[in-house]
Amino acid sequence: MPSPETKPTGDFLDLFSGQAEAYAQFRPKYPTVLFHYLALRAPGTQLAWDCGTGNGQAAFGLAERFARVVATDPSSAQIGRARAHPRVEYHVATYDSGLPPASAQLVTAAQALHWMDVDAFVREARRVLQPGGLFAVWCYSLCKLDPPLNELVEFFYRVSIGAFWPPERRLVDEGYRTIALPIDELDVPPFDLVADMTLPQFLGYVETWSAVQRCLASRGRDTLDAFARSVAQRWGIPSTLRRVTFPLHVRAGELR
């Protein structure tokens, strides 16, 4: 287990450009209540910077509460699939927000911190945040379904493709708690990300996992197809909607 001083280092690992379309189609959406909470805790709602925005899921939600959102990602493929919004500006960039000093009330990173050089991200966040500004990062860990399906997902996640997870994935499993962040941390209320999915939607989501992509490159489709057949047997009619719950882990506070 990483120590509380664990910090991901280096540039963003680009594991998702090749599947940007699937990522945009199948990844779940963040709950509206999360963005309401961030807007209430930030000192204002004029400007937010979302770093590692991917296809803009967090940026799109932030734009419902902030007048302007600057969203950056190092992957031009992901930015190319981002959802358009009149209050969101998308840019291809790693940690350079392009914002003036002390201009933002909120800086976020959604399901991205484990791929980042945390020190580089924090330096830019500290530069662009106004005094009292809010720094917030979050991730969602392994999804939960009804027990018969959940057993299959757990086995597939931990055993069938367990060896293919990048080491950074452990930080997500631990809810980012082992990443050292220089913040005066808030006691954030619990949030869940909830989606009702058909069988094709759920399997499409699973195929976006970085470990699945690495498994496909190494072994072909046999492992994934065997999992899909097992899930289909317990799912029933493919068009049946089943509730999928993703525990959301949020760390937020003012940078020290």
Query: In the prediction, which pLDDT does 27 show?
Result: 79
pLDDT-based confidence at 11, cuts 50/70/90?
A: low
Which is nearest to 168 in space by CA: 212, 115, 108, 110? 115
50 and 58 Cβ atoms separated by less than 8 Å? yes
Q: Which two tokens stand for residue 116?
A: 């980042």
Q: Is the pLDDT of residue 78 over 70?
A: yes
Render pLDDT for 99-155 as a digit per residue (tens, 0 to 9): 999 999 999 999 999 999 999 999 999 999 999 999 999 999 999 999 999 999 999
Query: In the prediction, which pLDDT does 139 show?
Result: 97
Mean pLDDT (whole number) for 44-71: 97
Render pLDDT for 144-157 as a digit per residue (tens, 0 to 9): 999 999 999 999 99
Query: In the prediction, which pLDDT does 2 show?
Result: 33
Query: What is the spatial distance between Cα 79 and Cα 95, in angstroms, rounded to a whole number?
Result: 15
Query: In the prediction, which pLDDT does 14 show?
Result: 52
Q: Which two tokens stand for residue 143?
A: 């999804």
Query: In the prediction, which pLDDT does 166 show?
Result: 94
More confident residue, 249 or 25: 249
Q: Is the pLDDT of residue 39 over 90?
A: yes
Q: Which two tokens stand for residue 11?
A: 């540039």
CA distances to 5, 48, 156 from 220, in Å: 37, 41, 15
Three-state SS for 253? Answer: strand
Residue partners of 39: CB distance under 8 A and separation at least 6: 45, 65, 66, 106
Q: Which CATH class is domain 17-255?
A: alpha beta
Q: Is the pLDDT of residue 9 over 60?
A: no
Three-state SS for 149? Answer: helix
Query: What is the spatial distance between Cα 159 and Cα 170, in angstroms, rounded to a whole number?
Result: 14
Nearest-5° Cα angle at 208, 155 to 214: 70
Residue partners of 194: CB distance under 8 A and separation at least 6: 31, 243, 244, 245, 246
Q: Which two tokens stand for residue 238?
A: 């493919």
When computed from its CA atoms, the radius of gyration of the chain, rounded to whole angstroms, is 18
pLDDT-based confidence at 5, cuts 50/70/90?
A: very low
Which is nearest to 106 in space by CA: 148, 149, 173, 51? 51
Query: What is the spatial distance between Cα 251 and Cα 138, in angstroms, rounded to a whole number?
Result: 6
Mean pLDDT of the chain: 91
More confident residue, 9 or 203: 203
Q: Is the pLDDT of residue 1 over 80?
A: no
Backbone torsions φ then ψ of 61, nearest 5 degrees: -65, -40
Query: In the prediction, which pLDDT does 10 show?
Result: 45
Q: Which two tokens stand for residue 5?
A: 């001083």
Render pLDDT for 139-195 as a digit per residue (tens, 0 to 9): 999 999 999 999 999 999 999 999 999 999 999 999 999 999 999 999 999 999 999
Query: What is the spatial distance between Cα 14 and Cα 166, in angstroms, rounded to a whole number?
Result: 12
Residue partners of 153: CB distance under 8 A and separation at least 6: 142, 143, 145, 231
Query: In the prediction, which pLDDT does 129 show?
Result: 98
Cα-Cα end-to-end distance for the chain: 26
pLDDT-based confidence at 22, cuts 50/70/90?
A: low
